[in-house]
Amino acid sequence: MNHIVIASHEFPPRIGGAGVVARDLATSLARGGRRVTIITCYASSLVGMFRKHMVFEELDGYRVIRIPVYKGMWFLSYPYMLNNVLPDDCDLLVFNDVAISYLNDKYRDLTVVHYLHGKERYLRYSGFIKSTLLSFDRIFRKNLNNADYIICVSEFIKGWLVNTNVLNNKDKIKVLENRIDTSLFYKAEEIPVRYKLSLEGHVLISASRLVEGKGYERMLRLFNEMVQEGCNDLKWIVVGDGDYRNQFETNISDLGLDDKVLCIGRVDREKLLYLYSQADLFWLLSDFEEAFPLVYKEAIACGLPALGNDLGGVREVISHGVDGFVCSNDADVKALILDRTYCNLTGIRGVTNFDDTKFGKDFIELICSHEK
Q: How many other CB atoms are there within 10 angstroms of residue 75's CB atom? A: 15
- Whether the per-residue pLDDT at 146 is higher than 70: the answer is yes
In the Cβ-directed half-sphere of 262, how many Cα atoms lie within 13 Å? 14
Please tell me the distance from the alpha carbon of residue 296 to that of residue 201, in angstroms, as a whole number: 22
Q: Which amino acid is at 264?
A: I
- Whether the per-residue pLDDT at 269 is higher than 80: the answer is no
Q: Which amino acid is at 14?
A: R
Q: Give the list of residues 6+ apart from residue 250 with CB closer than 8 angstroms, or none.
A: none
Q: Helix 330-338 and helix 216-228: axis angle, to 10°?
A: 50
The pLDDT, as a whole number, for residue 15 is 66
User: Above pLDDT 70, what percent of the chain?
Assistant: 93
Task: State which of 34-38, 44-48, 188-192, 289-293 shows the largest mean pLDDT.
Answer: 34-38
Split at pLDDT 50, 70, 90, the class of 122 is: low
**105 CB burial (10 A radius; 0-12, 13-18, 19+):** middle
Q: Is the dihedral of CA 12, 14, 16, 19 positive or negative?
A: negative
Higher pLDDT, 130 or 268: 268
What are the tens digits of pLDDT across the range 203-240? 999 999 899 999 999 999 999 999 999 999 999 999 99
Higher pLDDT, 123 or 47: 47
Closest CA to 118 of 306, 305, 291, 316: 291
DSSP string, 297-362: HHHHHTT--EEEESSTTHHHHS-BTTTEEEE-SHHHHHHHHHTTGGGG-----------TTHHHHH
Torsion of CA 284, 287, 289, 295, to 10 degrees: -20
The overall average pLDDT reported for the chain is 88
In degrees, rounded to 5, the angle at the alpha carbon of residue 214 between the alpha carbons of residues 212 and 217 is 65
Q: How many other CB atoms are there within 10 angstroms of residue 352's CB atom? A: 10
**Partner residues linked to 43 by β-bridges:** 69
- Whether the per-residue pLDDT at 352 is higher than 50: the answer is no
Q: Give the list of residues 6+ apart from residue 368 with CB closer than 8 angstroms, or none.
A: 1
Q: Which long-range contacts (CB under 8 A, 24 or more apart) does 54-61 make?
A: 54/81, 54/85, 60/26, 60/27, 60/30, 61/27, 61/30, 61/31, 61/36
Domains in the chain, CATH or no CATH each: 3-181+357-368 (3.40.50.2000), 193-344 (3.40.50.2000)
Provide φ and ψ at 17, rounded to 5°.
-60, -45
Q: Give the list of residues 6+ apart from residue 166 with CB closer than 8 angstroms, or none.
A: 123, 141, 144, 145
Task: State which of 70-74, 137-141, 242-246, 290-294 shows the largest mean pLDDT.
Answer: 242-246
What are the tens digits of pLDDT across the range 276-322? 989 999 999 999 998 999 899 889 988 899 999 999 999 999 999 89
Higher pLDDT, 10 or 268: 10
For 212-305, list the strands marked E by DSSP: 234-239, 261-265, 281-284
The pLDDT, as a whole number, for residue 354 is 46
CA dist list (Å): 126 to 75, 78, 121, 123: 17, 22, 10, 9
DSSP string, 29-61: HHHTT-EEEEEEEEE--HHHHHHT--EEEEETT
